[in-house]
Amino acid sequence: MKLEKLVGERFKERPADCVINSHAFFLRGGYMKGVANGIYSSFLPLKRITHKIEEIIRQEMDALDGQEVQLPVVLPASLWEESGRYQSVGAELMRFSDRNGSPLVLGMTHEEAAVQLVREYGQSYGRYPFFIYQIQTKFRDEARPRGGMIRVREFTMKDGYSFHTSEQDLEAFYARCLEAYERIFQRVGLPEVISVASDSGMMGGGVSHEFMLLTPVGEDTVVLCPECGYRANMEAAVCRMENNRDEVSAPLEAVYTPNIHTIEDVCEFLHSPQEKSCKAVVYQREDDNSVFVLFLRGDLEVNEARLNAYLGCGIRPAVITPETGLHPGYIGPVGLPDSIPMLLDRSLCGANNLSCGGNREEYHYVGLDMAREFPNAEYHDFAKAKEGGLCPVCGKPALQIRRGIEVGNIFQLGDKYTRSMGMQYLDQNGEAQYPIMGCYGIGVGRLAASVCEARHDDYGPIWPVSIAPWQLHLCCMRADDSAAHDCADRFYEELQKAGVEVLYDDRKVSAGVMFSDADLLGIPFRLIVSPRNLKNGVCEFSARDKSFSEQLPLDEAVRLVTGRIREALA
Amino acid sequence: MKLEKLVGERFKERPADCVINSHAFFLRGGYMKGVANGIYSSFLPLKRITHKIEEIIRQEMDALDGQEVQLPVVLPASLWEESGRYQSVGAELMRFSDRNGSPLVLGMTHEEAAVQLVREYGQSYGRYPFFIYQIQTKFRDEARPRGGMIRVREFTMKDGYSFHTSEQDLEAFYARCLEAYERIFQRVGLPEVISVASDSGMMGGGVSHEFMLLTPVGEDTVVLCPECGYRANMEAAVCRMENNRDEVSAPLEAVYTPNIHTIEDVCEFLHSPQEKSCKAVVYQREDDNSVFVLFLRGDLEVNEARLNAYLGCGIRPAVITPETGLHPGYIGPVGLPDSIPMLLDRSLCGANNLSCGGNREEYHYVGLDMAREFPNAEYHDFAKAKEGGLCPVCGKPALQIRRGIEVGNIFQLGDKYTRSMGMQYLDQNGEAQYPIMGCYGIGVGRLAASVCEARHDDYGPIWPVSIAPWQLHLCCMRADDSAAHDCADRFYEELQKAGVEVLYDDRKVSAGVMFSDADLLGIPFRLIVSPRNLKNGVCEFSARDKSFSEQLPLDEAVRLVTGRIREALA
């Protein structure tokens, strides 16, 4: 391919709305163009990158005996009604109707469609286990698309679905798939991606993992314990805070606290640290709209995913009406109206000398002693992990909080979908059973952008050769010099014959333009032909990552370059 | 791949709603499954076929210097408003709104998105010509999906868009693309596909061609002249009917024809053939709702595509109100109200002794002589071609009407999209110009189904090796016989090592089940290992199309089979 003919514009200025590097480089390098909020078109360089990523994924899925299928982008709403997700999933599920008024959705994940595809096939135990996957366009009507390819509305995803007759079989396959994922990230050039335990969220089911590229620009939060290796995403992370119980418990005492509502204000007024306060957060259950109060240590935040999982239903911040008997800003566990259930976070267990709301206007309590006031209370883990928090596995106060990009996820789904959609098989005894499922996703475009986030310098991406749009960037400096141009033309032809993917720049442009374009395109190897080097019978071979730069004899160049690239690909 | 593990059910009974063979075989053979009206999921065999078709298309597009891109499935309505198609295209364009109320559409074709992608890149003449293409999911909300993969709502399509600075350049590229299409159809195993001139319809622009597989089950109509090679689809076909002028013209005379409204009834009543009648068809223009009447010979039908093109606006059957002064069933050219314009088809030119409506209730005329009554009339070609009609090129009464499946199309679009969407370049003189475009489509799934229509027997498809899901079907008869099973296992391993794509059936099933499954899967070559043949030191190698069946010595089998398949692929 000649660079002169490459469709797409490259430019110098970082667009104002680009917060992260991959977004900026993908626009500046002619990789993609915005079409609408969170919707992009791709030019050839990005298309070539994603093709290669898809081929690596395909190979690894086939190695797991995966069978590639294709499920529809546009799905009848009835399938999502069967699973119950037509109701339970929010506005990110794009809903519309066809010309006959039949309700449709755009697939944002395909558990329902996968079950529909194999519902008849999977009627006999002898056919299990099996694993289908696809690589396909999905649409999720994100409220806030951002970061270029990192969070888009339309995206290409590999999603796979495995079907099993036992938990052990699912777990064994799940472990193999986890390893395949690690190989995929390794092969695309991101060996540093880690798997973390995660919350299943809208997918349902039990065990699940996310694959995270740790980076300050990530939008997900990961909890790590460097002491024992514990890893979880924030939603799934358990955090046991230390409760510093003072030796002497002060008596419970009401304090007049006019116009003081927030934890910050209360603690400042009382000259006491937030760790010594008891914070109230009021929610409403989504199933029956009933109001309840969660109490936790004042310096902590609620992990709503864990709270959801504990309750088995959705929640939302409560609308506090006078009928509840609650006094916003003054809510505490002592004297809470009987009609209002309360939940207690483990961070309060055994704590004393706490401040808390007085359950009447303009009054707080000090001297709250949980063990004394609530001797029979139950405590659960509802708080978000905090830097320095106690690791739930090794118990050391070592938790670290990091940002990450989620580049893949795998879920053990159990029988949520097969049961709701009536997929059954007859087991050895002729009894009907619900198969159990796993599902396995990787966002292709997000993965490409993540590689760029992890592998770039100030001037552009540094693509690993396994997914680079081309393997070699051939530059002819001074294309007006016929000897140089002839030599570069010959290299172009011979290298292509040798099977090297060459992007050839023989434009009559300055060295500055030529190299800044080359940096933006990020091709890992570069071969430069120039009149000056020609005089010495050499050309210059270098790496985009600056790991080497050497002069090659002209008549050896094709052989040496080809060998080097083959080696890098191996 | 072991057949035992292939996900998807095969069955014997032809589903009741399958009108055409490819539909029935694709369901019966576990190629696909219906999800909703006109929406299907594909299993592995069909996925492998379409992969191979896509790869052939990709190679031919790359050979035209095509650059693969990816345009969104979900497009902002604003793009289609720019081109005017948001209004002009009917309900087949799926329209909906996102969570913020922004109107979106599902791309059913991507001229607008292609222009949006290259609008900035194409600002200088030096960058032309260029050609981008994609292979991607599209959705068209068809009123009547039918024929399985032949007419669906969701489909995978290769669509390409070329940009040029002159008509000559577009025409030269268009000719190359036409040849590439012929190569594609040849390579996927349909050398008999023909190109026919076509009407551009909703695409706009001038010259266009459709690629047709002639088959009685096709839903398109093609007009052919075996005398001179003229080929056009029905919409584009010009037909000049012979007008048999009688030597003696009878006088114009009113006839009382009570309760006789249709051409058939009038002709029967008057004992005269339909060729000797003048039929009225009343339309309303879509631009100003005005009513007009088209007259043509009674035995002919209106080619509305040609009428649209002549008028430059859409039309619809008229609602005839009393205010028009028209008498339905009695409308004729003589005495038509002055306020109603009339158009005359060339089939009436010079005709005499015709019957026609009398423009008053219950009366017709006989003895209409167009030359006498309308000496200054203009005639145009508005009639649909008819079997035996005059060829517009060689003039012979030889036209044939055939059915066909449209497997591809190419259009010269002119500047319809670049002008409406404000895409311009500066030419050599620094003047702003609108580039002109061509567009080039192939439906991948429809092509797969078309190959099946053209290549099958009573038992299933006969896939050409170039797109077959696997190249060799290996059958182990009597898998319970350990010698046979061992031999087949060895073949399976060695053939795969030799690079052959093998589907291996070692199930313990009857020969009948084994062969009927093999027929449904349609793999072109078959190798059969059986205890009986083993005793003679041979195995059986045959073709799905029954073109050969031979016994191969066991120790030569792998080499000979591999050679034969390589030869077929070459």
What pLDDT, on the 0 to 100 scale, is given for residue A198? 84
How many angstroms separate the CA atoms of B267 and B526, rounded?
62
Q: Quick check: B149 contacting A, CB < 8 Å?
A: no
Instruction: Say yes or no: B42 contacts chain A, CB-CB below 8 A.
Output: yes
User: CA A79 to CA B158: how far, in whole Å?
Assistant: 29
Among the partner-chain residues A67, A97, A141, the one whose CB lies closest to the CB of B98 is: A141
Identify whether B392 is part of a domain.
no
d(CA B559, CA B542) in angstroms, rounded, equals 15
Q: Check CB contact of A137 with chain B, cutoff 8 Å.
A: yes
Instruction: Let me know if residue B463 belongs to a domain.
Output: no
Q: Which of B69, B54, B182 has the alpha carbon at shortest distance from B118?
A: B69
Place of tokens 């292509």: A496
- Number of residues that this document lists for chain A: 570
Q: Do A33 and A68 form a contact (C-beta atoms < 8 A)?
A: no
Rounded Cα gap, residues B262 and B434, in angstroms: 50
Question: Is residue A68 less than 8 Å (CB to CB) from chain B?
Answer: yes
The DSSP 8-state label assigned to residue B12 in this structure reads S
Contacts of A76 in chain B (CB under 8 A): 35-36, 39
Would the pLDDT of B225 be above 60?
yes
- In this predicted structure, what is the pLDDT of residue B201? 57
Residue B514 lies in a domain: yes
**Would B123 be classed as within a structural domain?**
yes
Residues B295 and B347 in one domain: yes
Residues in A touching B35 (Cβ below 8 Å): 71-72, 75-76, 79, 113, 116
Check B70 against A76: CB less than 8 A apart: no
Domain contains B379: no
Residue B143 sits at the chain A interface (C-beta within 8 Å): yes
Contact between A7 and B121 under an 8 Å Cβ cutoff? The reply is yes
Are A277 and A216 contained in the same domain?
A: no
A5 inside 8 A of chain B by CB: yes
What angle do helix axes A44-63 and A444-454 make, rounded to 10 degrees?
Answer: 110
The two structure tokens encoding residue B328? 């339905």
End-to-end, the C-alpha distance of chain B in Å comes to 24
R_g over Cα of chain A: 29
- Asked if the Cβ–Cβ distance from B141 to A98 is below 8 Å, we say yes
pLDDT, tens only, B260-312? 888 888 888 888 899 999 999 999 998 899 999 999 999 999 999 889 889 98
Contact A47 B70 (CB under 8 A): yes
Chain-chain contact of B44 with A116 (C-beta, under 8 angstroms)? no
Adjacent-strand bridge partners of A283: A292, A317
Supply the pTM of this predicted model. Answer: 0.90
One domain for residues B304 and B350: yes
Other C-beta atoms closer than 10 Å to the C-beta of B9 total 17
Tokens of A390: 């106690």
CB contact under 8 A, B67 and A44: yes
Distance CA(B211)–CA(B229), nearest Å, equals: 15
Q: In 3D, which of B160, B63, B171, B60 has the Cα closest to residue B117? A: B160
Q: Is the CB of A116 inside 8 Å of chain B's CB atoms?
A: yes
A78 and A160 share one domain: yes
Range with lowest mean pLDDT among B180-184, B268-272, B532-536, B561-565: B268-272
Say yes or no to pLDDT of B204 above 80. no
Per-residue pLDDT for B426 more than 70?
yes
Which pair of structure tokens corresponds to residue B10? 């095969």
Whether B134 and B266 map to the same domain: the answer is no
CA distance B470 to B463: 9
The pLDDT tens digits of the residues spanning B428-478 come to: 999 999 999 999 999 999 999 999 999 999 999 999 999 999 999 999 999
- Do B428 and B289 fall within a single domain? no
Torsion of CA A117, A122, A127, A132, to 10 degrees: 30
Please tell me which residue of chain B has the smallest CA distance to A445. Answer: B70
Number of domains in chain A: 3
For residues A103 and A116, is the Cβ–Cβ distance under 8 A? no
- Judge if B157 and B233 occupy the same domain: yes
Of the candidates B123, B130, B139, the one whose C-alpha atom is nearest the C-alpha of residue B69 is: B130
How close does chain A come to B434, measured CA to CA in Å? 18
Question: To probe the interface with A, which of B62, B104, B125 has the most A CB atoms within 10 Å?
Answer: B104
Summarised one tens digit per residue, pLDDT across range B9-34 is 999 999 999 999 999 999 999 999 99
3-state helix, strand, coil split of chain A in percent (to 5) is 30, 30, 40
Q: Where does a domain end: B330, B354, B373?
A: B373
Dist. CA B47–CA B376, nearest whole Å = 62
Q: Which residues of A touch B63 (CB under 8 A)?
A: none
Q: What is the CATH number of the domain that holds A415?
A: 3.30.930.10
Residues 6+ apart with CB under 8 A from A396: A225, A227, A228, A390
Segment B197-207 shows an average pLDDT of 66
Please indicate, yes or no, whether residues A362 and A405 belong to a single structural domain of this protein.
Answer: no
Give per-residue pLDDT as tens, B493-505. Answer: 999 999 999 999 9
Cβ contact B47–A69 (<8 Å)? yes
Query: Would you state the structure tokens that stand for residue B353, as one six-digit string?
Result: 């002794």
Domain range for A328 is: 253-373
Q: State the Cα–Cα distance between residues A480 and A59, nearest whole angstrom.
A: 45
Average pLDDT rounded to a whole number, residues B227-246: 85
pLDDT of residue A204: 54
A414 strand-pairing partners: A437
Confidence of residue B200 (pLDDT cuts 50, 70, 90): low
| A36 at B interface, C-beta within 8 A | yes
Q: Between chains, do A36 and B104 touch, taking CB under 8 Å as contact?
A: yes
Residue % of chain B over a pLDDT of 70: 99
Taking the Cβ of residue A43 and every Cβ of chain B, the question of whether any pair is shorter than 8 Å is answered with: yes
What does the angle CA B63 – CA B67 – CA B73 come to, to the nearest 5 degrees? 130
Q: How many CB atoms lie within 10 A of CB A375?
A: 8
Smallest Cβ distance to A113: which of B35, B43, B48?
B35
Task: Name the domain boundary from B373, B391, B420.
Answer: B373
Q: What pLDDT was estimated at residue B437? A: 97
pLDDT at A470: 98
In a domain, B28, yes or no: yes
Contact B432, B424 (CB under 8 A): yes
Tokens 């009834």 correspond to B265
Q: Do B117 and A43 lie within an 8 Å CB cutoff? A: yes
DSSP state of A146: B
Q: Do B109 and B216 share a domain, yes or no?
A: yes
| Any A CB within 8 A of B548 CB | no
Judge whether residue B241 has pLDDT over 80: no
CB contact under 8 A, B7 and A118: yes
pLDDT at residue A270 in the model: 87
Q: Which of B4, B6, B7 to mutate to test the interface with A (most CBs of A within 10 A)?
A: B7
Strands B342-344 and B291-297: parallel
Q: Decide if B552 contacts B542 (C-beta within 8 A).
A: no
Bridge partners (DSSP) of residue A104 are A76, A96
Are A182 and A217 in a shared domain? yes
pLDDT of residue B324: 92
For residues A470 and A503, the answer to whether their CB atoms sit within 8 Å is yes
Rounded to whole angstroms, the Cα distance separating A18 from A10 reads 15
- Any CB–CB contact under 8 A between A531 and chain B? no
Q: What is the mean pLDDT of chain B?
A: 94
**d(CA A193, nearest CA chain B) in Å:** 27
Please indicate, yes or no, whether residues B225 and B315 belong to a single structural domain of this protein.
no
Which residue type occupies A148? G
Check B72 against A154: CB less than 8 A apart: yes
A197 vs A222: CA distance, rounded Å: 9
Q: Which residues of chain A does B132 touch, with a Cβ-Cβ cutoff of 8 Å?
A: 7
Q: Residues near A474 by Cβ (< 8 Å), separated by ≥ 6?
A: A488, A491, A492, A495, A502, A503, A504, A505, A526, A527, A529
Are A482 and A513 in a shared domain? yes
CB B463 within 8 Å of CB B453: no
Q: Give the DSSP H or E segment for B511.
A: helix B511-521
- Tell me what ipTM this predicted complex has: 0.90
Q: What is the pLDDT of residues B315-335, one digit of tens each?
A: 999 999 999 999 999 999 999
The pLDDT of residue A178 is 96
Chain A residues with CB under 8 Å of B437 CB are none
* Residue among B74, B92, B102 with most chain A CBs within 10 A, to mutate: B74
Q: How far apart are the first and last CA of chain A?
A: 24
B309: domain CATH number?
3.90.960.10
| B286 and chain A in contact, CB less than 8 A | no
* Contact between A203 and A413 (Cβ < 8 Å): yes
Question: Percentage of chain B with pLDDT > 90?
Answer: 88
- Do residues B247 and B264 make contact, with C-beta atoms less than 8 angstroms apart? no
Please tell me which residue of chain A has the smallest CA distance to B32: A117
Q: How many residue contacts between A and B have a Cβ separation below 8 Å?
A: 158
Residues 6+ apart with CB under 8 A from A484: A476, A477, A478, A529, A530, A531, A534
Q: Which of A392, A418, A453 is the last residue of a domain?
A: A453
Residue B4 lies in a domain: no
- Contact across the interface for B72 and A35, Cβ inside 8 Å: yes
> Touching check for B118 and chain A: CB below 8 Å?
yes
Whether A5 and B130 lie within 8 Å, measured CB to CB: yes
Rounded Cα distance, A558 and A542, in Å = 14
Q: A120 CB near a chain B CB, below 8 Å?
A: yes
Distance in angstroms (rounded) separating the CA atoms of residues A427 and B8 = 19
Q: Which residues contact A372 (CB under 8 A, 6 or more apart)?
A: A249, A352
Q: What SS3 class is residue B97?
A: strand
Taking the Cβ of residue A539 and every Cβ of chain B, the question of whether any pair is shorter than 8 Å is answered with: no
Q: Which residues of B touch A72 (CB under 8 A)?
A: 35-36, 39-41, 154
Q: Is residue A31 part of a domain?
A: no
Is the Cβ pair A96, B99 closer than 8 Å?
no
CB proximity A42 to B under 8 Å:
yes
Q: How many CB atoms lie within 10 A of CB A253?
A: 11
DSSP category for residue A302: B
In the predicted model, residues of chain A with pLDDT beneath 50 are none
Q: How many CA atoms lie within 13 A of A198 on its CB side?
A: 24
In degrees and rounded to multiples of 5, residue B352 shows phi and psi of -140, 175
Cα B25 to Cα B30: distance, rounded to the nearest angstrom: 8
Whether chain A has a CB inside 8 Å of the CB on B201: the answer is: no
Residues contacting B391, CB < 8 A, separation 6+: B225, B227, B228, B230, B397, B398, B399
Question: How many whole angstroms separate alpha carbon A47 and alpha carbon B134?
Answer: 10
Contact indicator for A374, A415 with CB cutoff of 8 Å: no
* DSSP symbols for A114-134: HHHHHTTGGGBGGG-SEEEEE
Task: Give B60: exposed, middle or buried? Use CB within 10 Å, 0-12, 13-18, 19+.
Answer: buried
Task: Tell me the CATH number at B482.
Answer: 3.40.50.800
Helix (H, G, I), strand (E, B) or coil at A150: helix
Q: How far apart are CA A80 and CA A66, in angstroms?
A: 24
Q: Residue B320 class from Cβ within 10 Å (0-12 exposed, 13-18 middle, 19+ buried)?
A: middle
User: Helix, strand, coil shares of chain B as percentages rounded to 5?
Assistant: 30, 30, 40
CA gap A539, A562 in Å, rounded? 14
